[in-house]
């Protein structure tokens, strides 16, 4: 008896996929998915509508164990869930509370912290931000300079965090701070929870090269933080941060995003003209699309192999890093070809068209507006979450034995 | 979803791997086989047959014990790891593919191939047909109820030692027509042969036919289908072979980076080199994924089969160049020598892109099959 390798989803998986899809069809407002499709700006309420729906369904904490109000899904189910919410053009689940802080608290938090914070994450009562990067600490995160000085009943925090995504909506921020100034870089760091409305916390917008306000600077000037807000032990925050970074990330390759971008690219290449003929009939351009599609096809299988191994209990190690590198390169290539496909139609920049309700005439086809902006925005993905160069260092260190 | 090999296939992989390693101990042993009169070891070929390696490449429907896409991939990944020069591709994959996909499958001949008693080469390539399935200049005509063949076939793998040859020839129409093609079986003792070694160590031959009698195996649509299928099976086998070679190239390079010292430390400690190794590792995972997909859909409909095989072979061409060139560059001078094995792996990896369709050919076929 020869049993074939099986690349198909099981019947049970397909049933689950249908359940997710049906639920999205039913609950995700069309006006909201239209906004996502058109790359329009999302308000805080837009994110909350979707996340509150997930809360009501019990699916918000899709990474958490069941006993904490999570789903208890295996890696394949998580993968399907992620794929379907992207396919449905839902807003992204803001990850800082539920996907990042939640697992750290579950693993390292006190009972009091778990009882207080986890239900508030589950109900979307608290909007969390991540306070890791600093102006002088990017890839070399451990060299961070924000200090928290022990003042008996509280820490006194001073310093500056940066690239704080959606920090202008946040109620709270989890921060890596220096509690032992004399210790070597990775040793004197603590993991601190800070209320954004504490006196001395100031949020300043950073406008990115695409003209958008997504990230911020967060300044701390003599901010008093109660000592009970420390997670785990003092000076051991680096361990918790690393735990978070290595936390199972099945969707890191962004396959569904690239798949939908590839379809969009083909559609636009059929409508754009070159010498009066559809651009897709240009052999050189279509060859670029074809090789991108082949890379994506291979990456999807690579991703599924990793997901499937994770479902069997094998924690993805360097695979996450490899998928992050390839995933960002493929996704950036889709935005590059989309930009090229438009030719001069990529030039007009009408920032007001990304506001809800804008109904003036665009310059050129309606799909052209966001393409160049999106290309520039997507340069970030090979920089954040550990730049591709850092990912390569991680793989080399973990698996080459050099 | 299950991406692991079944127990049976794991055993096949292990047994065949050990067997290949025991014969192909090192690159000198391979050179010995390359320099034998037939360009390969007849003894090793017979032993492969006895162990069931050839049989593993043929479906049970036609007298074999395997023949699935996964079987082909497992065997050829190992062929690549050892750089075996025996006629696994020419006889066991290409010819037996044709003989099993014609209307009246020739199980008698396939059985002889499996038993190691008969070598049949597939002569489709010509000096001017590049990688096309249907462009054929060689002609066949009917006279007194007998088929006669005229023309020259090029790059016929193991075409000197094979006793029989499967020849594609044009029965009617223009050289570039998709119709009017025939497949014929001829005896190889009456052909004019010009054998030579290829740059990567394989034996190939120019075969010229002058009014040579042949037996018709298939014609028109069926003949073209058989050619396409055989070439696809060959492209899959070569993709898996390339995957095996890439893994060896990576391992050899990594080993070398640990031992070679310059500026007072092993060169593997340099970040610029580590990053290039990660790029190689990542692309090898991509190739592995594409080969797995192509293997798993080898027995589905022709369209899915050919689309996924073209995806794999295109990627193999691109990544093969990366791995071969980086293997040589990261080794430095030593990889420029005939003596060192990495050079031979790199050469085969590059030349695989010159067989059964290069990366451009398969990219274009992928476009065609995906309705671009």
Domain boundaries, chain A: 11-93, 128-235, 255-399
Which residues in chain A (262-291) have CB-CB distances under 8 A to chain B? Answer: 266, 280, 286-287, 289-291
Start-end of CATH 1.20.140.10 domains in chain B: 225-369
| Residue of B76, B78, B92 whose CA lies nearest to B18 | B78
Q: What is the CATH number of domain B225-369?
A: 1.20.140.10
For A29, other C-beta atoms within 10 Å of its C-beta total: 13
Rg of the Cα atoms in chain B: 21
- Say how far residue A159 (Cα) sits from the centre of its chain: 25
Average pLDDT estimate for B73-101: 97
Among A293, A301, A309, the residue with its CB nearest the CB of B292 is: A301
Secondary structure (3-state) at B100:
helix
Q: Is the pTM of this model over 0.90?
A: yes
Q: Could B68 and A2 be called an inter-chain contact, meaning their C-beta atoms sit closer than 8 Å?
A: yes
CA–CA separation, B131 and B135 (whole Å):
9
Rounded to whole angstroms, the Cα distance separating A341 from A269 reads: 6
Q: Is A277 left (phi over 0), alpha (psi -120 to 50) or beta?
A: beta
Instruction: Give me the mean pLDDT over the A229-244 stretch.
Output: 92
Within an 8 Å CB–CB cutoff, is residue B250 touching chain A? no
Cα–Cα distance measured from residue B280 to residue B251, given in angstroms and rounded to the nearest whole number? 11
Q: Do A297 and B293 touch (CB under 8 A)?
A: yes
Q: CA B113: distance to chain centroid?
A: 17
CATH 1.10.1270.20 fits B120-219, yes or no: no
| d(CA A175, nearest CA chain B) in Å | 30
Contact state of A389 with B275 under an 8 Å Cβ cutoff: yes
Could you tell me if B81 and B246 are in contact, meaning their C-beta atoms sit under 8 angstroms apart?
Answer: no
Intervals of CATH 2.40.110.10 along chain B? 120-219
Q: Kindly state whether A14 is in contact with chain B, defined as any CB-CB distance less than 8 angstroms.
A: no
Cβ neighbours of A266 in B, within 8 Å = 372
For A133, the token pair is 């990067």
Helix or strand or coil: residue B217? strand
3-class secondary structure, B198 = coil
pLDDT for residue A345: 96
Residue with tokens 């899915």: B304
The answer to whether domain A255-399 has CATH 1.20.140.10 is yes
pLDDT confidence bin for A246, thresholds 50/70/90? low
Specify the pLDDT at position A374: 96
* CATH architecture classification, B7-114: Orthogonal Bundle (1.10)
Task: Judge: B278–A326 Cβ closer than 8 Å, yes or no.
Answer: no
Mean pLDDT of A334-344: 97
pLDDT at A279 over 90: yes
pLDDT in tens, B234-273: 999 999 999 999 999 999 999 999 999 999 999 999 999 9
Looking at the complex, report in whole angstroms how far the Cα of residue A358 sits from the nearest Cα belonging to chain B.
34
Contact B367 A287 (CB under 8 A): yes
Would you state the structure tokens that stand for residue B269, as one six-digit string?
A: 């400690």
Distance CA B123, CA B165 (A): 7
pLDDT bracket for residue A126 (50, 70, 90): very high
What's the mean pLDDT in A270-286?
97
Give the separation between CA B317 and CA B313, rounded to whole angstroms: 6
Task: Answer yes or no: are the C-beta atoms of A298 and B287 closer than 8 Å.
Answer: yes
How far off is chain B from A122, nearest CA to CA, in Å? Answer: 31
Mean pLDDT confidence for A170-188: 93
Q: Which CATH number fits domain A128-235: 2.40.110.10, 3.40.50.720, 2.50.20.10, 3.20.20.70?
A: 2.40.110.10
A313 pLDDT above the threshold of 90? no
Q: What ipTM was reported for this prediction? A: 0.95
DSSP assignment of A171-227: SEEEEEEES-TTS-TTTSEEEEEEETTSTTEEEEEEE-TTS-EEEEEEEEEEEEEEG
Decide if B5 contacts A2 (C-beta within 8 A): no
Q: Which residue is closest to B369 within chain A, CA to CA? A: A290
Helix (H, G, I), strand (E, B) or coil at B77: helix
- Which distant-in-sequence residues (6+ apart) come within 8 Å of A13 by Cβ? A76, A77, A80, B1
Beta strand A273-274 with A277-278: parallel, antiparallel or unpaired?
antiparallel
Whether the predicted pLDDT of A3 surpasses 60: no
Nearest by CB: A396 against B66, B274, B292: B274
Q: Which residues pair with B166 in a beta bridge?
A: B122, B185
Q: What is the pLDDT of residue A323?
A: 96
Q: What's the Cα-to-Cα distance from A175 to each of A139, A199, B230, rounded to whole Å?
A: 16, 16, 61
């Amino acid at each position: 008896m020869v049993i074939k390798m099986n690349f198909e989803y099981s019947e049970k998986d397909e049933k689950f996929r249908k359940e997710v899809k049906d639920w999205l069809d039913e609950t995700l407002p069309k006006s909201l998915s239209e906004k996502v499709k058109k790359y329009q700006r999302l308000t805080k309420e837009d994110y909350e509508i979707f996340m509150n729906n997930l809360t009501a369904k019990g699916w918000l904490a899709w990474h958490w164990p069941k006993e904490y109000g999570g789903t208890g899904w295996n890696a394949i189910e998580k993968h399907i869930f992620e794929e379907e919410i992207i396919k449905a053009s839902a807003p992204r689940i803001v990850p800082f509370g539920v996907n990042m802080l939640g697992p750290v608290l579950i693993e390292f938090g006190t009972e009091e912290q778990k009882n207080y914070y986890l239900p508030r994450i589950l109900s979307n009562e608290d909007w969390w931000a991540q306070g890791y990067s600093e102006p002088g600490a990017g890839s070399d995160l451990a060299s961070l300079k924000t200090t928290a000085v022990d003042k008996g009943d509280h820490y006194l925090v001073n310093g500056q965090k940066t690239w704080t995504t959606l920090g202008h909506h946040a109620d709270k921020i989890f921060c890596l701070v220096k509690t032992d100034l004399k210790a070597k870089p990775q040793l004197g760091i603590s993991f601190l929870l800070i209320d954004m409305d504490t006196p001395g916390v100031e949020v300043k917008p950073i406008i990115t090269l695409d003209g958008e306000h997504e990230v911020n600077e967060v300044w701390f000037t003599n901010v008093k933080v109660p000592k009970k807000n420390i997670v785990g032990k003092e000076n051991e925050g680096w361990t918790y941060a690393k735990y978070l970074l290595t936390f199972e990330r099945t969707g890191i390759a962004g396959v569904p995003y690239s798949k939908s971008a590839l379809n969009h690219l083909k559609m636009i290449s059929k409508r754009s003209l070159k010498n009066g003929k559809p651009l897709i009939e240009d052999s050189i351009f279509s060859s670029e699309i074809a090789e991108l599609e082949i890379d994506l096809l291979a990456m999807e299988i690579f991703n599924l192999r990793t997901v499937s191994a994770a479902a069997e209990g094998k924690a993805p190690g360097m695979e996450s890093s490899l998928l992050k590198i390839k995933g960002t390169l493929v996704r950036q290539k889709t935005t590059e070809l989309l930009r090229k496909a438009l030719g001069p139609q990529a030039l007009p920049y009408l920032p007001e068209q990304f506001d809800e309700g804008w109904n003036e005439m665009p310059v050129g086809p309606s799909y052209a507006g966001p393409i160049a902006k999106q290309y520039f925005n997507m340069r970030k993905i090979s920089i954040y979450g550990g730049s591709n160069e850092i990912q390569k260092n991680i793989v080399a260190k973990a698996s080459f034995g050099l | 979803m299950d991406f692991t090999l079944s127990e049976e296939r794991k055993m096949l992989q292990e047994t065949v791997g050990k067997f290949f390693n025991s014969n192909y101990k090192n690159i000198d042993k391979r050179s010995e086989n390359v320099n034998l009169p037939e360009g390969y070891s007849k003894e090793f070929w017979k032993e492969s047959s006895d162990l069931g390696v050839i049989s593993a490449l043929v479906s049970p429907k036609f007298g074999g014990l395997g023949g699935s896409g996964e079987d082909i991939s497992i065997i050829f990944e190992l062929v690549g790891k050892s750089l075996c020069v025996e006629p696994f591709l020419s006889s066991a994959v290409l010819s037996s593919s044709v003989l099993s996909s014609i209307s009246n499958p020739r199980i008698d001949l396939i059985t002889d191939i499996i038993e190691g008693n008969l070598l049949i080469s597939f002569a489709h390539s010509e000096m001017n047909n590049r990688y096309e399935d249907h462009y054929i200049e060689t002609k066949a005509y009917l006279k007194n109820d007998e088929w006669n063949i005229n023309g020259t076939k090029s790059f016929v793998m193991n075409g000197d030692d094979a006793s029989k040859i499967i020849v594609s020839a044009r029965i009617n129409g223009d050289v570039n027509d998709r119709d009017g093609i025939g497949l014929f079986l001829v005896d190889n003792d009456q052909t004019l042969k010009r054998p030579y070694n290829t740059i990567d160590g394989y034996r190939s031959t120019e075969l010229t036919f002058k009014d040579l009698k042949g037996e018709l195996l298939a014609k028109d649509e069926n003949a073209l289908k058989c050619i396409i299928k055989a070439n696809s099976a060959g492209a899959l086998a070569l993709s898996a072979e390339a995957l095996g070679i890439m893994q060896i190239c990576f391992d050899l390079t990594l080993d070398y980076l640990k031992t070679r010292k310059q500026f007072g430390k092993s060169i593997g400690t340099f970040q610029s080199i580590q990053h290039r190794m990660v790029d190689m590792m990542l692309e090898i995972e991509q190739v592995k994924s594409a080969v797995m997909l192509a293997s798993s859909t080898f027995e589905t409909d022709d369209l899915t089969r050919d689309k996924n095989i073209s995806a794999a072979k295109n990627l193999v061409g691109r990544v093969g160049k990366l791995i071969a060139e980086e293997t040589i560059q990261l080794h430095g001078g030593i990889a420029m020598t005939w003596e060192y094995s990495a050079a031979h792996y790199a050469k085969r990896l590059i030349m695989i892109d010159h067989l059964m369709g290069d990366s451009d050919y398969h990219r274009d076929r992928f476009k065609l099959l995906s309705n671009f």
